[in-house]
Chain A
Amino acid sequence: MKRYIISRVVQAIGILFGVLFIVFFMLQLTGDPVSLLISRHASPEEVEALRDELGFNRPILVQFTSFISRAVVGDFGKSLRHHQPAMDLILERLPATMELAVAALLISLVLGIPLGLIAGSNPGSFWDVLSRGTGLLGQTIPNFWLALILILVFSVNLGWFPSFGRETWTFMGLTLPTRSVFLPAFSLSLFTMGQLIRFTRSAVLEIRSEDYVRTAYSKGLAAHRVYIRHILRNASIPLISIVGVQFGYLLSGSIYIETIFSWPGLGNLLAESIGNRDFALVQAIAFFSSFVVVTLNLLTDIAYGLADPRIRYE
């Protein structure tokens, strides 16, 4: 297990360096970065001055090493628009995105896993057809379209939920969500829910016919014991990785959903910074999202190892 974890950590660090490399050269590929930053009417002297100020006239390798050495301590420079360190802006927006991501994950877990279990345990039944249908819709309906429909029905017509913005309340120093998170979280959860239904269903179906489940029955165990100890326990292992990957995707913030609901999270910040050509901020967000995904994958791998002794004792 120790070797397994170490190898995963080394892998994760390697990937993050790759990401930094891409983030850096992405900007170079757009041509002359300075021309993106300055008014079209600026004089060549002004352009040269800015280039000098930002260090773009140094050799590329020098620029890259200085970028990396600052990036590893979280310094991506200042946002051109906000005149604040890019990382500070991200951390400021993070709670909103976290709230949305956690809410969306919970919704998809609470709906997706039971539906998947029912479907997998009764293949061909009405519930199976229903669950599979729901799963398919969840994965195919565009979530921004669903978001608009939900706003129309539940905020405009019924007035149950606000149609945009994030409201919170504070209790004993904690910032807590209100119902304003519900519509965006539900829209966002749909894809993950579909994924969970499908994976849970196929995991249960597959494990039901494993030899060791037959052995469990041959021991005379009650059906619910076989189900919980032998089927669910084993079916949950492949789900760990689905949940990990999906949570990473939710946490990196959804541009569509956050924009539609004016949710003050990372996705919104990214959309805004792209619009403003705020390249330091775009770079920082791109790296931050990758960091979140890679970290979650790492945690997923470790959880996987803990849950499955065949990996643990390799």
Chain B
Amino acid sequence: MGKILEVRDLVTKFYTFDGVVHALSGVSFDLNEGETLGVVGESGSGKSVTMMSLLHLLPSPPARIEGGQALYYGDMHKSYGDMHKSCGDMHKSYGDMHKSYGDMHKSSHSRDISSSRDNQMLKDSIKKPVRGSINETLKDSIKQPVRGSINETLKDSIDRPIKEQIKDAPIQDIKEPVDLLKLDRAGIRSIRGGKIGFIFQDALSALNPVMIIGRQIGENLVEHLGMGADDAKKRVLELLEYVGIPNPGRRYSCYPHQFSGGMRQRIMIALAIACNPRIIIADEPTTALDVTVQAQIIELVQRLTREMNIAVIWITHDLGVVAGMADRVLVMYAGTPVEIAPVNELYTNPAHPYTIKLLGALPIIGEEADHRLESIDGTPPDLLAPPVHCQFAWRCPHAAKRCWQEIPEQREVTPGHHAACFNVA
């Protein structure tokens, strides 16, 4: 799988009346196409600030991004016309996805995308191996009238063996990456919503209370894909159906406060995926929800991102959630990434003392308990005057002399597993 995003040494500071808050001091991580990266860490460790920095969403003043790179390897250089076309096609193949899922079960070509039966089949089809079904879709969509670049690519990919496709990434590798941090206003606007979708924690406050939800989702489509009002509405109705809002026709004109918390979060998700982004950033999207609804939302996001091959950055307090859904995990502490590893590796072989403590604070599986991260002794450093040694030193049982003198850099534990600790050999 190819890289879609590469963040290097991101430094963000807040210039406040109390002084300079060193919110991020050198955050680096990669994100691969279609993978789910879990980001965990205590509150205040810089998870949100990292993601908002990427999209220039922090209020400035006081925020200032003072260093680093955020290389995006997606296809951003397309003209608007192309984007429109390819998104139109995506749109189609998206419909086709439903259809082909249906086909797998009843092998008839139903035109009726929006029937609830299809929805059921969608659910069923989730149990199928993912790769297989996507390729079914691709093949299927080839039978449709082809136009525009995306379908061209799809056709290409059909001619090659599936395994090969999985091994090496599609189009993106050849593309010149763009540095998100250097983009001008227009550039970052085409990324926001168009290439990177955002799901915020509290959907009630994140949705405009006086605008009907249909328009809030549709705004995206009009802005990025240049859709007309009718097309946008049609697409929004499909999206609503797709994320599991019952009766989309009636719900289109409702206001956010008329939905339950879970439904509102589904609307946020529809909004985030509306323009077929390559990446979705979900900032604690289930923290405000109760456990059952939380599970449904997680399942929904997993399903969508799998079907649409979207990479997800999932920020959470909850290590249990990460264990269940992430491919890799990034652990943040005091504005620095302290450990990054594939999820199984992290849980079985944690290297950084902070991660070890976090995992130690986890309850035994099956025990009903609150597995939030606040249960570790000590407090994180004051970001107004961050220490010039290991940030974790005074909470660390293994702190040695060197830990009080230098800042540890990332070291490789095993391939793909890095930790910022001197104790890692």
Do chains A and B stick together as partners?
yes
Query: 8 Å CB contacts to A: which residues of B198-212?
Result: 198, 200, 202, 205-211
A215-B207 CB under 8 A given contacts A220-B223, A310-B255? yes
Interface assignment of B303: CB less than 8 Å from any CB of chain A: no
A203 CB to closest chain B CB, in angstroms?
A: 13
State whether A218 touches B210 (Cβ < 8 A): no
State whether A307 touches B219 (Cβ < 8 A): no
State whether B209 touches A234 (Cβ < 8 A): yes
A223-B223 CB under 8 A given contacts A214-B206, A237-B210? no
Interface assignment of B167: CB less than 8 Å from any CB of chain A: no
A309-B192 CB under 8 A given contacts A217-B57, A219-B271, A225-B223? no
State whether B210 touches A234 (Cβ < 8 A): yes
Residues of B within 8 A of A210 (CB): 205
Interface assignment of A229: CB less than 8 Å from any CB of chain B: yes
**Total residues of chain B contacting the partner, CB 8 A:** 30
A99 CB to closest chain B CB, in angstroms?
A: 34
Interface assignment of B194: CB less than 8 Å from any CB of chain A: yes
- In angstroms, Cα B258 to Cα A313, docked, is 8
Residues of A within 8 A of B207 (CB): 212, 215
Query: 8 Å CB contacts to B: which residues of A164-219?
Result: 209-212, 214-219
State whether B257 touches A212 (Cβ < 8 A): no
Interface assignment of B324: CB less than 8 Å from any CB of chain A: no
- In angstroms, Cα B189 to Cα A309, docked, is 29
State whether B200 touches A214 (Cβ < 8 A): yes
State whether B192 touches A307 (Cβ < 8 A): no
> Among B193, B202, B209, B255, which residue has its beta carbon within 8 angstroms of that of A220?
B193
Q: Digit string of A30-54 for contact with B (CB within 8 Å is 1, else 0)?
A: 0000000000000000000000000
> Among B191, B200, B223, B224, which residue has its beta carbon within 8 angstroms of that of A215?
B200
Interface assignment of B59: CB less than 8 Å from any CB of chain A: yes
Highest count of chain B CB atoms <10 Å: which of A211, A230, A233 = A211
Interface assignment of B294: CB less than 8 Å from any CB of chain A: no
Known contacts A215-B198, A220-B188, A309-B210; 8 further A-B pairs (Cβ under 8 A): A214-B200, A215-B206, A215-B207, A218-B198, A220-B189, A234-B210, A310-B255, A310-B257
- Write 18 A-B pairs (CB below 8 A) sorted by A numbering: A211-B205, A212-B208, A214-B57, A214-B200, A216-B208, A218-B200, A219-B192, A220-B191, A220-B192, A220-B193, A220-B224, A222-B189, A233-B211, A234-B209, A309-B255, A309-B257, A313-B255, A313-B258
